[in-house]
Amino acid sequence: MTTVDLASMPSEVARRHHDDAPVHRPRVARRASRDTRDTMRPRIRLAMIVFSLAFLTIIGRLVSLGMMEPVPGNYGVNPNDAIATGRPDIIDRNGEVLAADIKTASVYGEPRNIIDPDEAAELLVTVLPDLKIDALRKRLSGNAGFAWIKREITPKQRQAIHSLGIPGIGFLTENRRFYTAGPTAAHILGLVNVDNQGIAGVEKYVDDQWLADLHAAGFARGEELDPVQLSIDISVQHILHDELAQAMERYSAIAASGIILDAHTGEVMAMASIPDFDPNNPVDANKPDRLNRITAGVYELGSIFKSFTFAMALDSGAVTMNDRIDATNALRVGRFTINDFHGKHRVLTVPEVFIYSSNIGSARMAMKVGQEGQQAYLRKFGFFDIPKTDLPEVAAPMMPKKWSDLTMMTIAFGHGLAVTPLQVAIADAALVNGGKLIPPTFLKRSRAEADKLAVRMVSEETSRHMRDLFALNVEKGSGRKAAVPGYNVGGKTGTAEKAVAGGYSANKRLNSFLAAFPMDDPQYVVLVVLDEPKQAKDGGGATAGWNAAPTVEAVIRRTAALLGVKPRTIQDGVVLVSN
């Protein structure tokens, strides 16, 4: 073994050997380094866990977004949220479709993706000239993700816009409501807005009852919904609408309205009010003269109101069919005088008071009942309340401010209390169907369902007397022009002077005829109201017997068979029904 003497080596070599020798550090320093490493390990693990969770969250979100439908635009605006929701079909009592959804295109823009809003607006107006270019240019500018350009465009317009090739312009398929009968049943069906939401008529009723809540909950947007079945018969509806339009023209009236009501179920079989509107293009729907005069208009209907005075007087026992009423002289109440239009100036029997439509006789009958009794009966008939029905457009009656003796007398013959024609038709049904008041409905209803809702108004005996009076009036009284051979029509005329500032106009009348048929077994009530009719060109008068009554005759003659009423003949006092 060789021994190296470091002392004898050169200094540089000795220094190198010295540097290569192991370095011996203190034990305390090594222990501190180990403690630091032990402390850092949990922190590193925690950081790794946090980053892993964040990474997994991002991956999960990316997968979720990848499964969603692509959204136009860059701001997360989904145009599908603006698409008009679906609605159920509306059908008549026989299943005929009256209203249904059809598919139509709408055009929208994504302003953020439109390169030149000015050019885009100018091009779009060449296809859609009804759009205002300044407003359109403003709508297409900016960074919005979605903006409607026009709803419900035609296929031709869609193709033309598509051919323009404008970046940022797209199309959506929407639901649009279509009404198969046009204006024929407009006041019953109502209409929808551009978002396919009901805003009038049965359409609004359906929304208010259940459809709006269903849509709000996210349901029934694309699914098929069960149809809503109405009580009306569209064939009968067409006839009523047609006859009212003819009467309006023939008698130069400013309006005409009518209703056909099932006397035993309260179902509205047909209802029309002219002028009307086309729900497929409802530009005129909000004009004041387009209101539904049957449910949303209130009127003093004149002598047809005498029917309820007679029913009240007979049912209360204040008057009997064998009584005689003095109509010799006019009635004077203070500075007011009550007279008859065609007075007989003598004592009249109760049936004569009815067929001659005596104001004096009706006022005297009301006096026998008294103010409290009159108010009680009218309230029971529903004339003090808003009628409850399926249509939202229903008006409240206009009550007299003070119920004096004069008020009692004038209301007895139809002046001083303004009600809707619907209320009159409902109450008249109670007079002829055996005495039961049944709430009206525009939805199909069975007789069993109606019986559960019926409330007795008058006795069956009183109802029988009223049927006799109605039939007698068409046979011998002012309603002769309403007679339809084989259908035993009964009814009452009403010629009411219209209220104007300071009193009543002698030249402006509201004429009406209230009818039921067949009077041996009444099935239907018909009411026609003509506003300011004039004398027909072929002659006659301007009162209800000359215009409202023959209009009812035409309606019954054309609809009776469709309504299932068979013709009848009377032999030796016995009614024979044809097979």
Question: Which residues are catalytic, by number?
Answer: 303
Six token digits for residue 256: 């005409």
3-class secondary structure per residue, 252-278: CCCEEEEEEEECCCCEEEEEEEECCCC
How many angstroms separate the CA atoms of 458 and 435, rounded? Answer: 5
Six token digits for residue 232: 């009306």
HSE (side-chain half, CA atoms, 13 Å) at 555: 39
Residue 272 near residue 243, CB atoms below 8 Å: no
Q: Cα-flanking dihedrals φ and ψ of residue 93, to 5°? A: -65, -20
Residue 518 near residue 485, CB atoms below 8 Å: no
Sorted by sequence, the CB contacts under 8 Å of residue 447 that are 6+ apart come out as 264, 265
- Helix %, strand %, coil % for the chain, to 5? 40, 20, 40
To 5 degrees, how large is the angle CA 324–CA 325–CA 326?
125
Strands 147-153 and 97-109: antiparallel
Q: Is the dihedral of CA 381, 384, 389, 391 positive or negative?
A: positive
CA nearest to 215, candidates 201, 202, 194, 197: 197
> Which residue stretches of 165-305 are H helix?
186-189, 201-206, 212-216, 234-250
R_g of the chain computed on alpha carbons: 41
Six token digits for residue 37: 């490493």
> Which residue stretches of 356-499 are H helix?
359-369, 371-380, 405-412, 421-432, 447-453, 460-476
**In which region does residue 375 sit, left (phi positive, over 0), alpha (psi from -120 to 50) or beta (all else)?**
alpha
Read off the DSSP letter of residue 418: B
Sorted by sequence, the CB contacts under 8 Å of residue 320 that are 6+ apart come out as 314, 350
Q: Cα-flanking dihedrals φ and ψ of residue 264, to 5°? A: -110, -15
How many angstroms separate the CA atoms of 9 and 479, rounded? Answer: 153
Residue 40 near residue 33, CB atoms below 8 Å: no
Longest dimension (CA), the chain: 171
Read off the DSSP letter of residue 96: -
To 5 degrees, how large is the angle CA 485–CA 488–CA 493?
100
Residue 327 near residue 319, CB atoms below 8 Å: no
Read off the DSSP letter of residue 132: -
Q: How many CB atoms lie within 10 A of CB 459?
A: 14
How many angstroms separate the CA atoms of 148 and 194, rounded? Answer: 12
